[in-house]
Structure 1
């Protein structure tokens, strides 16, 4: 979501470097300043608005630079979650913690209408219900389900089945990093490796506990069915 100041900076650059002040916007939510004379390209790329920690940087990184998001709940009544803020924040955190030798396209959408085109992304995040234990009780929180492996281009394919569902947004970062490692060759920086390893161990314990609980419920249901079958008929 661009600010008024950012839009003015882009307009100023277009007036300064582009014939007729032309600006183009792409479906990847990028900005193109077309037809810049070759002799002016170096000066354009050196502009302060396109460097440093600017959100208009021409070198935003492998994750942040490929981020797409729908409008989100702030301005859309259909969205189940806010997307823009969390998308930008979590992408920046993941990029800070990881080393990648390729781009990873992460798309966010607030609802199943999929304006963010999550099914075509390397990693798609669709808003939906999630639950988290808060003060000893399971409560509903903003969440996402994750789609992995969509592609674009001549032989592109949509990923229509979610890989994981019901991830609370506040717990999304390690899930996202884990997927980038396993599916896209990402490497977690040494200073964050132990933190992530601890999260992985915790996930193993959680899955084991859930499996044990499911087995317990299944055994109870089976025992009840057997008892019912053995009970004498009163007809």
Structure 2
């Protein structure tokens, strides 16, 4: 099959002799094996935009057909948000229509995290006019707005697209936003600027019907930075810049990463990708996933499950034989990262100007904050900024003489260039405030904990950032298994026959972008749980124990994996 041929045109070739079919199109045929696969084939997710514009926005929320509401609208970045007042104990017992409000979360797709101040201003205006000033920076470099009415969606699309933004395939079983280095094109130590490669892939393939029905979501990351700043180990496909001794600068290819309830780190295929083949290989891996990915069970449909069964050698062979124009050369692994991948603080650009990485509290900003930031940047001679995979913002092109005064002004709108240890390294998912899957609140709990830890540990010398990730359910949108301290939301007994919000604790995870030699998943200890009100108490206690027990130059992650269970309580 050629790289551009769609699976729908491929004759079914059933080869499996025993066991139930997995719904692999090139093995089992394309007959749908569940209701989700059936509606995707009957009427793809991209088709719903016309109905939003011509019917639903004019007739209101109650006119939206059920499969569109709970399925196809995701292809345009729209999820219904959680109805206020429904406690976490009912998350798993109520049907979606009972949990949802008549408002939407809208995800603005920001490939490579690249924004202009004009685009930022439009997002801020949309937040203010249509989203009750809501705005969250995600750890996928997107911005999410809430309280969006279906009646306002066409106008929002018009405004976004007028400045080159989109919500196309921001959600759904499609190629999601492409993570890119926030310092692409400006960092002095960059190996290669991948911005053009990201633009090429998005222009050619986002919204392409042949890739708009994948088994599940497909996540991409590309970086040219030695800091390895795009969490490449937990994406379906990732390109990490490397200098090949004979072929020059290109990319090391990783595939099959993902977290959620069955975490698995990506693996290297051992190949070297020259820049001119990045888009071809991306399309090949996406097409392989489309044709061979498991579709029978949605909880087994991510690419990581196929890679686990095949292994990297078979994956590479099928990719090269069936989806690429020619084989790929072998390649070396990239060296360990040279510095933190969150880019917080003040750094000199390759052109002599400066970029400033700033931290809001756990990704939470607002429409007025975004508008104020756009004004501040323009007043300081800049029209560019970046979102990051760490819920941060990186502000570009600042003249040296403006740096300190800008930092003061940024502090006044809640963006810290020199944050405390825990403000810098804490992220949180949306939580029960808006998410229908959540069990507990996250943003406020994490913020309260950070504020308390800033007071309690202000005089303590902690040798490196200790990441704290707070998630409202088991699905790990906040990457709990890859944090030094990861908190997974659940309800805990209160001792009086009731329940209180709390978390299961994961310890000692991390990724290359956290200055680790290699990525690793966190450890769980039986019975180790903490209530939402006690997060600061627990973090303070374990940090002090770590500082007392650590060996010379020992990291928190290494200590957490070797410590006995008593030390981790």
1:50 to 404, 411, 422: 411
Gap change, CA 1:105 and 1:184, over 3 Å in 2: farther
Distance of 2:504 and 2:437 partners within structure 1: 17
Tell me if 1:70 matches 2:399: no
Gap change, CA 1:72 and 1:170, over 3 Å in 2: same
Gap change, CA 1:146 and 1:17, over 3 Å in 2: same
For residue 156 of structure 1, report the CA deviation from its aligned partner.
1.5
Tell me if 1:144 matches 2:503: yes
Residue in 2 that maps onto 1:161 = 524
2:472 to 88, 110, 122: 110
Secondary structure of 1:63 counterpart:
helix
The superposition leaves residues 19-41 of structure 1 with CA deviations (integer Å, 9 ceiling, x where unpaired) of: 4x222111111111012233432
2:438 to 79, 84, 87: 79
Q: Which stretch has the larger CA shift, 70-79 or 151-160?
A: 151-160
For residue 59 of structure 1, report the CA deviation from its aligned partner.
1.8
For residue 160 of structure 1, report the CA deviation from its aligned partner.
5.1
Residue in 1 that maps onto 2:391 = 29
For residue 185 of structure 1, report the CA deviation from its aligned partner.
5.7
Structure 1 unmatched ranges of 5 or more: 187-203, 208-235
Question: Given that residues 145 and 163 in structure 1 are in contact (C-alpha distance below 8 angstroms), is that contact kept between their aligned partners in structure 2?
Answer: no
Distance of 2:497 and 2:443 partners within structure 1: 26
For residue 162 of structure 1, report the CA deviation from its aligned partner.
4.8
Residue in 2 that maps onto 1:38 = 400
Larger helix proportion, structure 1 or 2?
A: 1
- Equivalences for residues 13-24 of structure 1 within 5 A: 13-19=376-382, 21-24=383-386
Distance of 1:35 and 1:144 partners within structure 2: 41
Gap change, CA 1:162 and 1:90, over 3 Å in 2: same
Q: Aligned residues, how many? A: 181
2:481 to 113, 116, 119: 119
Distance of 1:185 and 1:18 partners within structure 2: 47
Residue in 1 that maps onto 2:535 = 172
The normalised TM-score by structure 2 is 0.30
2:461 to 91, 100, 119: 100
For residue 163 of structure 1, report the CA deviation from its aligned partner.
6.4
Distance of 2:525 and 2:477 partners within structure 1: 16
Residue in 2 that maps onto 1:9 = 372
Distance of 2:547 and 2:389 partners within structure 1: 23
Structure 2 unmatched ranges of 5 or more: 1-363, 550-565
For residue 15 of structure 1, report the CA deviation from its aligned partner.
1.9
The superposition leaves residues 91-111 of structure 1 with CA deviations (integer Å, 9 ceiling, x where unpaired) of: 110221112333221111111
Distance of 2:519 and 2:481 partners within structure 1: 11
Distance of 1:148 and 1:163 partners within structure 2: 12
For residue 138 of structure 1, report the CA deviation from its aligned partner.
2.8
Gap change, CA 1:92 and 1:147, over 3 Å in 2: same
Question: Given that residues 480 and 506 in structure 2 are in contact (C-alpha distance below 8 angstroms), is that contact kept between their aligned partners in structure 1?
Answer: yes
Secondary structure of 1:141 counterpart:
strand
Distance of 1:34 and 1:89 partners within structure 2: 30
Distance of 1:73 and 1:185 partners within structure 2: 36
Residue in 2 that maps onto 1:191 = none
For residue 89 of structure 1, report the CA deviation from its aligned partner.
0.5
Gap change, CA 1:16 and 1:163, over 3 Å in 2: farther
Flag as ranges the 4+ runs of structure 1 deviating above 6 A: none
The normalised TM-score by structure 1 is 0.69
Residue in 1 that maps onto 2:545 = 182
For residue 48 of structure 1, report the CA deviation from its aligned partner.
2.5
2:493 to 110, 113, 131: 131
